[in-house]
Amino acid sequence: MQSTEPPEDIPVAMRDTPVKPQAPSPYRLVWVVSGAIGAIALTILSVTLWILSHPPSPSPGANAGETPVAGSSGAIADPNTDPNTNPNTNPNTDPLDPSSTSAETPDSSDPTTLLGHRPYAEAPPETLVPVLADGSLKLREAAARAWFALEEDAQKAGVSLMVLSAFRSHADQEYLFFEVKRQRGQDATTRAEVSAPPGYSEHHTGYALDIGDSSSPETYLNPDFENTAAFRWLKDNASFYGFELSFPPDNEQGISYEPWHWRFVGDQDSLETFYREDVAVPTVSPTP
């Protein structure tokens, strides 16, 4: 009788019923991928926060909180640069404050002047009236009226005044500056001390005139005029008629003292002509 026991020579592994392997769960795969992405994101976030909390140290010598300023050429200016070695840096001004100005005193390089003289346009011919009987000398009408009143009152006081020069054209001034300069062998700076270049004379305005004492003709256009009775009377009374001395001693323009040179500032137009500094000189064609 045969035994029902399985043969002992058959390996146990071969006797066991094979088990069908299970397919991996899709949910488990999702969790694995999500975990990996989360770990990467956390790493990036940690690195970013570390960088933000550890800014780079300032360069040696830089002041804390100081921000480099871009120069006009686009390059970044080194805040430690010595202003004395940087030709584009003015130690007297703040480059970030447009209201700051240099402490330097303006000099003759001022673009609004020429050799110390300010520019003036010629008075329109129709605004001029004669102040001598022959019509050779003229002033603006307001200045002429004031002159006639001044002259009359001076005469009553026993002072005889004479108009030596009044309105001058560009051509007149060109002769007085360049031709006389040539005849006397003067340089431009020396000539400008007593005569303005053309385009820069107060006489162009029709408000300026040169005055003399007819009883002392030797003092005409001469500093000695200040010693005459005429000058003393003008000094005491000219302002009552709207006139003032143009170039007193030590005047700010650096022009030689001219006791004979007076100007009318008795109305709005004349006052603005000589004292208003923020207005462009109107263009008037020179008299031929």
Alpha-carbon distance values, 182 to 177, 201, 222, 270 (Å): 9, 19, 21, 33
Mean pLDDT, residues 75-97: 37
Q: pLDDT at position 170, please? A: 96
CATH class of 135-167+206-275: alpha beta
Distance CA 240, CA 232 (A): 14
Mean pLDDT, residues 36-58: 66
Confidence of residue 47 (pLDDT cuts 50, 70, 90): low
Mean pLDDT, residues 22-35: 59
The residue whose two tokens read 């006397």 is 184
Of 65 and 27, more confident: 27
Confidence of residue 27 (pLDDT cuts 50, 70, 90): low
Q: pLDDT at position 254, please? A: 86
DSSP helix, strand, coil percent of the chain (3-state; round to 5): 35, 10, 50
Give the residue extent of every domain in the chain: 135-167+206-275, 170-202
Which residues, listed in sequence order, are joined to residue 213 by a DSSP beta bridge? 161
Q: pLDDT at position 277, please? A: 72
Confidence of residue 142 (pLDDT cuts 50, 70, 90): very high
DSSP assignment of 203-256 equals: GGGT-EEEEEETT-GGGTTSGGGGGSHHHHHHHHHGGGGTEEESS-TT-TT-PP
Q: Are 164 and 210 in contact (CB under 8 A)?
A: yes
Is residue 122's pLDDT more than 70?
yes
Portion of the chain with pLDDT greater than 70, in percent: 59
Report field, pTM of the whole predicted structure over 0.75? no
Say whether 264 sits in a helix, a strand or coil: strand
Using one digit for the tens of pLDDT, what is the confidence trace for 200-258? Answer: 999 999 999 999 999 999 999 999 999 999 999 999 999 999 999 999 999 988 899 99
Radius of gyration of the chain, Cα coordinates, nearest whole angstrom: 47
Of 127 and 277, more confident: 127
